[in-house]
Chain A
């Protein structure tokens, strides 16, 4: 079955949706859209049983065969897991959006076209085996995400958030493309599977670390890692279904997918392990710390997403360590890290999706997302409260919810990092479990902050724009399904583990396992009284204490200096790129023709003299020079005198006459150097030119009649002398190093026999090289027509000119 075409089904549906929106206005367009992800989800589940046995599938659509570029869909455990997430959560989000977006007030066709486009892009990203098509779909996710964030395009904040996310993710995308290009040159293939197969050879390549860093930049910007997370909180201006879908469950996990997919290639490098684990942990701590500063429900969730993505990222980094320890080493827990990462990725998609939907419901039913205005909604919105409670407790890592299981696995992964005894992990590694523990405490506090500040406490109806009440049942279906999954996964974790997680782990760690059965990991909710349990108890105890005293220390966040935030840095960089480059170009784009001539002449001088100097090309040879005659010297002196007169003349008339003298002495040169035709032409043309100059002189401005000698300017003189010296050097060197003799002997021999003429110059002009003459005639014709047009055509008002002349 060529399942590669399944990727494009949402895109094709996007073509039809606007017609349905216009033709069937009675039915909410979302109902038509709902079928697409639902059917795709059903189709992708058919792969489950085979992938579980370790099989994988490829299907190729040739795109540009001559360049070896194709869209290759490769389905293994990892891509199937992501495909199911995309289509599954996609179905729930579309269902939720049907009740969230109003049929009459919203431009639904835009929304669903962007959403379907995004779905195709995301499926393409996770299934592509081809680097270039992966990049293609990657940018398509950036573009569709840009469109979705800016959905309410009349709001300033939406446009700002959309632009910001676009700038940052596209920056990362382009860096990633650079990494891909390096990879494809290093491995001489575009296929990720073939690159994985040749990973050991790649590791020795000099570009290896460069491509690693570039690919990671792509992953970090997309997955909102430190310091690129700043676009995600601003992306919360998107409609809530978009936030739930893109900015918690799918798109921000594209970076995680990338890291997971490329782990077999890069895991051998300590750069990879340190960067992925370190940045992940830093993001985890930073995000969980600043989540408590937020007062907007979606802002809290955005920072929480950043933090949880950092957690998964650090686990993926720890999982890469297993390449160095090997499967035989039973003490090593690192082989569990990748499992924990994927497991938490699934869990996070479930609880964060439901929490976003609840935040949207609260917004929809009360009119505000400001946590300071909310409170006491528990009795008014009991179902939403229950779902929010489940999601938050899971996020905090409490039993009996799935977050507890992944939290425990995360802690054991981090605890074992200091055991690792190379790449300096045995010294610095102690920091990892400490940071992880502190971040978990903050996670606990903001989870409680999110749910209890919204639903318990005092109800403040006078602050709310709307009368709060429970959401319609349709809006609650999707979060309820996700919430029950959160509970279900806690009780049957090994079903999910066997069917979804283990095949994905095989894809991430092919150096450890060949088939999913090899992954001998059993998740148990009760794992005995070990260090992780005590850490969890500590988290709950300290977290509860911090939450209870929150009102005492939360104002400390406002003391944080605004000038040093990363957003300020981003704004400053945008300012610099826009205003800075504008100012910079105004410095050199002066508008004076003199400046530009100086740039050009200086460029010519430096480039030419530099080349002559570097290539050691200067040479003076007296071998072929003609003898010097007295007349020639006289004319040389006349010519120089004429030129000097032009330079130092006080009146313009003198300089015009001197120019005529120069022209006539050039004509005399032509006479002496045996060029009669040139001399004739030069004399005639010089006469006409001088007449024209005098015409222009006659009409010169009467405004400043008093004529001045040209003012001496040192800079101009230096540039002029530079050009003169350059021309002299080039002329001398070129004359002294003739490589081939002239072809003129042919003309001299054949001018009479072949062309029947005696004047060789004239025969060359009209016979041997008659084409030049034809177009030189054309030049004269154009010039004369142009002159006539300039004089005759007067499209501007004549009054203006008269006014100036009368002054």
Chain B
């Protein structure tokens, strides 16, 4: 299963990067969302997908799924959510102020030319 997941994660990264290279701000943020999904799945996969029970102590079970990657992913999900929310509101404000979501038009001031 891990081998398949490695390819799935690679696919997610590919799609994320392709979206991030586009010129629409919304697509860039969608790309970052895909990128964080890929990263979270990567952490989980690297921890190993074996284990027959969730990491909650219960009598008679010895083969738990690895709890440490799960704790790390939980932290990462929350942080990426915070950043994404901030980023989205930033995009919303940028549109309000600038009237565009085209990254090619957001080139700053042309004081050099």
- Docked CA distance A782–B81 (Å): 12
- Docked CA distance A782–B19 (Å): 27
B26 touches A696 (CB 8 A): yes
Given A636-B8, A646-B30, A674-B52, are A760 and B15 neighbors across the interface (CB < 8 Å)? no
Query: In the complex, what's the smallest C-beta–C-beta distance from A790 to chain B, in angstroms?
Result: 5
Q: Please, what's the 1-or-0 string for B33-44, where 1 marks a CB less than 8 Å from any CB in chain A?
A: 110011011101
- Docked CA distance A601–B31 (Å): 14
Q: Which residues of B contact A765 (CB under 8 A)?
A: 71, 74-75
Q: Interface residues of A: mostly helix, strand, loop or mixed? A: helix
Q: Is A439 an interface residue (CB 8 A)?
A: no
Question: Which residues between 76 and 100 of chain B lie within 8 Å of chain A, taking CB atoms?
Answer: 77-79, 81-86, 88-93, 95-100
B67 touches A747 (CB 8 A): yes
Q: Is A539 an interface residue (CB 8 A)?
A: no
- Docked CA distance A592–B54 (Å): 46
- Docked CA distance A758–B64 (Å): 12
Query: In the complex, what's the smallest C-beta–C-beta distance from B103 to chain A, in angstroms?
Result: 5
Query: In the complex, what's the smallest C-beta–C-beta distance from B78 to chain A, in angstroms?
Result: 5
Q: Is A16 an interface residue (CB 8 A)?
A: no
Number of A-B residue pairs having CB atoms within 8 Å of each other in the complex: 274
Q: Is A732 an interface residue (CB 8 A)?
A: yes
Of the candidate stretches A30-38, A409-417, A697-705, the one touching chain B is A697-705
Q: Which residues of B contact A669 (CB under 8 A)?
A: 41, 44
Nearest B residue to A711 via CB reads: B22
B38 touches A759 (CB 8 A): no
Q: Which residues of A contact B67 (CB under 8 A)?
A: 744, 747-748, 760-761, 764
Residue in contact with A681 in the complex, picked from B14, B29, B78, B86, CB distance below 8 Å? B78
Q: Which residues of A contact B47 (CB under 8 A)?
A: 742
Given A744-B66, A764-B67, are A783 and B23 neighbors across the interface (CB < 8 Å)? no
Q: Please, what's the 1-or-0 string for A735-766, where 1 marks a CB less than 8 Å from any CB in chain B?
A: 10000001110011001100001111100110
Of the candidate stretches A153-161, A314-322, A557-565, A769-777, the one touching chain B is A769-777
Residue in contact with B70 in the complex, picked from A640, A678, A801, CB distance below 8 Å? A678
Given A647-B19, A719-B17, A720-B15, are A695 and B68 neighbors across the interface (CB < 8 Å)? no
- Docked CA distance A700–B93 (Å): 11
Residue in contact with A643 in the complex, picked from B11, B90, B108, CB distance below 8 Å? B11
- Docked CA distance A669–B49 (Å): 10
Q: Interface residues of B: mostly helix, strand, loop or mixed? A: helix
Query: In the complex, what's the smallest C-beta–C-beta distance from A729 to chain B, in angstroms?
Result: 8
Query: In the complex, what's the smallest C-beta–C-beta distance from A799 to chain B, in angstroms?
Result: 12
B3 touches A601 (CB 8 A): no
Q: Is A734 an interface residue (CB 8 A)?
A: yes
- Docked CA distance A743–B67 (Å): 10
Most buried by B among A647, A659, A696, A731: A731
Q: Is A538 an interface residue (CB 8 A)?
A: no
Q: Is A521 an interface residue (CB 8 A)?
A: no
B77 touches A735 (CB 8 A): no
Query: In the complex, what's the smallest C-beta–C-beta distance from A483 to chain B, in angstroms?
Result: 58
Query: In the complex, what's the smallest C-beta–C-beta distance from A605 to chain B, in angstroms?
Result: 10
Nearest A residue to B56 via CB reads: A759
A689 touches B15 (CB 8 A): no
Q: Which residues of B contact A607 (CB under 8 A)?
A: none
Q: Which residues of B contact A731 (CB under 8 A)?
A: 6, 9-10, 42, 45-46
Q: Which residues of B contact A748 (CB under 8 A)?
A: 55, 57, 64, 67
A699 touches B85 (CB 8 A): no
Nearest A residue to B28 via CB reads: A593
- Docked CA distance A297–B32 (Å): 71
B49 touches A760 (CB 8 A): no
Query: In the complex, what's the smallest C-beta–C-beta distance from A480 to chain B, in angstroms?
Result: 59
Q: Please, what's the 1-or-0 string for A87-108, where 1 marks a CB less than 8 Å from any CB in chain B?
A: 0000000000000000000000
Q: Is A666 an interface residue (CB 8 A)?
A: yes
Nearest A residue to B110 via CB reads: A591
- Docked CA distance A243–B95 (Å): 64
- Docked CA distance A757–B1 (Å): 31
Residue in contact with A693 in the complex, picked from B19, B88, B108, CB distance below 8 Å? B88
List 29 contacting pairs A-B, 8 Å CB cutoff, sorted by A.
A592-B107, A594-B23, A601-B17, A624-B2, A625-B2, A625-B49, A632-B1, A646-B19, A655-B30, A669-B44, A673-B44, A673-B49, A674-B65, A675-B65, A677-B70, A678-B77, A696-B88, A696-B95, A697-B26, A701-B101, A710-B19, A748-B57, A748-B67, A772-B75, A776-B78, A779-B83, A783-B85, A783-B86, A807-B99
Q: Which 4 A/B pairs are nearest by Cβ-Cβ distance?
A: A724-B14, A728-B10, A783-B82, A720-B18
